[in-house]
Amino acid sequence: MEAENEYCEICYETKSQEYFFENPICTHSFCTSCMKSYFINILSSREFYSMKCPAQGCENKELMAVAQNVLSEDEYNALDETRFFFILSLDSNTRWCPIPDCKGYSHVTSLQYVSCNVCACNYCKDCLQRWEDKHKCPKVNEFHIYMRNLGARPCPGCKNLVEKHSGCTSMTCRCGTIFCMVCGKIIDNDHDGLKCFIGLEDPSYFLIFGLLLSPILFPFHAGFYIFQTRSFDEKDDNGKSIYNCKNITLYSIMFLISPLIVLIIFIIAAGYVIFSKDDKRNINSFLPKTKFFWPLKPFIWVLVFVLIFVLIILGYMIFNIYLTVLGLVSLFKKIFCRKNIR
């Protein structure tokens, strides 16, 4: 008797049931080749926080039984070991051994020092330096200032230090927590990412000037974004930016071609509505399918493109008015705070 066929929701192929494996916890089943690729991708990306049943809406995270059946012994052992260390890293009481190439660790106790479970090295549970008589930890403030200069911040979820040198202000920790690298808070509906990105905690007069003239300077926003994210910065040993002819030239070029970049972004955004590969999102899904209507499509496309392009510009100008208001508020706060200090 031939085995019945089953449909895989990952590769969208129908295969024999002998190529499928069912999760004993949630009873969802997928083909073994797709599940093997899924676990290999998890292992290579180290994103274990996202490891759960691929079925839509399923929150089951007990997948190791599935992994053991679809992976080779070496692949499973690598996944199991890496996942184990990942879970350890989420525990704020875990202290990794400071000895190079040692994979040992320990847990915080009532003593001031801890011992590695592999090499038995004694080290301070606070600063992780090797424990010696009359040991003194570096000043905590100096340590945090040093790490902050390197671009590191403690994750509000697992409390581990996360380092980021460039890019946007959003950061996804390996524990799955998404937080802001500027203010250190979890990014949710109450978080104002724009204020953190443009630096309104302590804005310079140059930044305030740029905000006030935002409706005029908007063609150069792309260059400002590239500069603000420090895309071409080089760092010294203390994490401070080094400005040389190379990166200054690159930033200058980005500012010069910024109007062209903004224009291209507008054109792509408007064109997406017409030529998106998603049939539910492009304008073609709303047009008649008859052959008689085909010659009229180019005219409709041009009309819709122009309309969307104008709407995008209007929306962006409203956004620039908002930036101007932020500039006025920042200027008021800066002057008012200075008067209070005096």
| pLDDT on residue 263 | 85
Return the higher-pLDDT residue of 144 and 46.
46
For residues 209-225, average pLDDT? 80
Whether residue 72 contacts residue 88, with contact meaning beta carbons closer than 8 Å, is answered with: no
> Is residue 106 domain-resident?
no
| pLDDT on residue 270 | 77
Of the chain, the percentage scoring pLDDT greater than 90 comes to 7
Q: Which residues pair with 154 in a beta bridge?
A: 161
Q: How far is CA 30 from CA 11, 19, 49, 57, 285, in A?
A: 9, 8, 20, 15, 32
> Is residue 132 domain-resident?
no
What digits encode the pLDDT tens for the residues 176-202? 788 888 778 888 887 776 667 666 566
What digits encode the pLDDT tens for the residues 250-259? 777 887 888 8
Q: Quick one: 235 and 166 in the same domain?
A: no
- Among all chains, which residue has been given the structure tokens 């996942």? 83
**What token pair was written down for 49?**
């926080």
- Highest-confidence segment of 103-117, 139-153, 194-208: 103-117
> Is residue 254 domain-resident?
yes
Q: CA-CA distance, 175 to 165, in Å (whole number)? A: 19
Q: How confident is the model at residue 278 (pLDDT cuts 50, 70, 90)?
A: low
Find the DSSP H helices in the chain: 32-45, 64-70, 73-89, 140-149, 193-198, 205-212, 214-217, 221-228, 245-256, 258-275, 297-341
For residues 87-101, average pLDDT? 83
Q: Quick one: 185 and 223 in the same domain?
A: no
Rg (CA), the chain: 27
pLDDT of 281 higher than 80: no
Collect all residues with Cβ–Cβ distance below 8 Å to 191 and sequence separation of at least 6.
180, 183, 185
Helix (H, G, I), strand (E, B) or coil at 338: helix
Q: Quick one: 177 and 247 in the same domain?
A: no
Nearest to 55 by CA among 30, 19, 20: 30
The pairs formed by 176-185 with CB atoms below 8 angstroms and a separation of 24 or more are: 176/49, 176/50, 179/153, 179/155, 181/151, 181/153, 184/153, 184/154, 184/156, 185/156
Count of structural domains within the chain: 3
What digits encode the pLDDT tens for the residues 26-36? 888 899 999 99
Q: How confident is the model at residue 1 (pLDDT cuts 50, 70, 90)?
A: very low
| pLDDT on residue 161 | 75
- State the DSSP string of 50-92: G-S--STT------HHHHHHHS-HHHHHHHHHHHHHHHHHT-T
Whether residue 208 contacts residue 216, with contact meaning beta carbons closer than 8 Å, is answered with: no
Collect all residues with Cβ–Cβ distance below 8 Å to 14 and sequence separation of at least 6.
5, 6, 7, 8
> Is residue 64 domain-resident?
yes
For residues 240-247, average pLDDT? 62
Q: Quick one: 174 and 187 in the same domain?
A: yes
| pLDDT on residue 39 | 93
Q: Quick one: 58 and 174 in the same domain?
A: no
Q: Quick one: 174 and 184 in the same domain?
A: yes
Collect all residues with Cβ–Cβ distance below 8 Å to 219 and sequence separation of at least 6.
258, 259, 262
Q: Quick one: 38 and 184 in the same domain?
A: no
| pLDDT on residue 293 | 67
pLDDT of 342 higher than 50: no
Choose one of 89, 124, 155: the last residue of a domain.
89
Q: Quick one: 174 and 205 in the same domain?
A: no
The answer to pTM > 0.75 is no
CATH number at residue 61: 3.30.40.10
In single-letter form, the type of residue at position 111 comes to L
Q: Quick one: 286 and 204 in the same domain?
A: yes
> Is residue 198 domain-resident?
yes
Q: At what angle do helices 221-228 and 245-256 cross, to 10 degrees?
A: 150
Phi/psi at 13 (nearest 5 deg)? -120, 150
Average per-residue pLDDT in the chain? 79
What digits encode the pLDDT tens for the residues 43-86? 888 888 888 898 888 889 888 988 998 899 999 999 999 888 88
> Is residue 103 domain-resident?
no
Choose one of 173, 191, 209: the last residue of a domain.
191
> Is residue 94 domain-resident?
no
Calculate ∠ Cα 111-116-117, nearest 5°. 115
Q: Quick one: 14 and 155 in the same domain?
A: no
Q: Domain range for residue 186?
A: 138-191
Least confident range of 25-39, 153-167, 206-220, 307-321: 153-167
| pLDDT on residue 238 | 55
> Is residue 122 domain-resident?
no
Q: Quick one: 296 and 241 in the same domain?
A: yes
For residues 222-240, average pLDDT? 63
Choose one of 26, 60, 89: the last residue of a domain.
89
pLDDT of 246 higher than 80: no
Return the higher-pLDDT residue of 280 and 316.
316
Q: Quick one: 329 and 199 in the same domain?
A: yes
- Among all chains, which residue has been given the structure tokens 């599935």? 66
Q: CA-CA distance, 59 to 283, in Å (whole number)? A: 35
